[in-house]
Amino acid sequence: MRSIQSLITLAVVACGILLTTGCGPKRESVQLTSAVVAAMNRGVGLMGQYDYDAAVKAFEEALKADPALDDVNVNLV
């Protein structure tokens, strides 16, 4: 009986940890302009063609249009 109580306690603690970790303030949704979308699509297409220099230029263009866009920074890494 004691082991069942221990398991239940462990499960409750684990659920509490899972629910509270990684939670941060909500970010505002990003409104993408057609210029940013076009630059991102062009950059991804160029990456698919292994033209990385041109892809970087396209992503930098998107970054200039929207510096807060995380997807651009991920693609530039």
Could you read off the pLDDT of 49-73 as tens digits, one per residue?
A: 999 999 999 999 998 888 888 888 7
Q: What is the tally of helices (H) and strands (E) in the chain?
A: 4, 0
Identify whether 37 is part of a domain.
Answer: yes
**Counted domains in the chain:** 1
Q: Band of the pLDDT at 46, cuts 50, 70, 90?
A: very high
Which amino acid does the sequence have at 72?
V
pLDDT mean across residues, the chain: 80
Closest by CA to 36, choosing from 64, 56, 55, is 64
Identify whether 21 is part of a domain.
Answer: no
Q: What is the rounded (10 degree) CA torsion for 17, 19, 22, 24?
A: -130
For residue 53, give its domain range. Answer: 31-77
- Threshold 0.95, pTM exceeds: no
State yes or no: pLDDT of 7 exceeds 80: no
Give the total residue count for the chain: 77
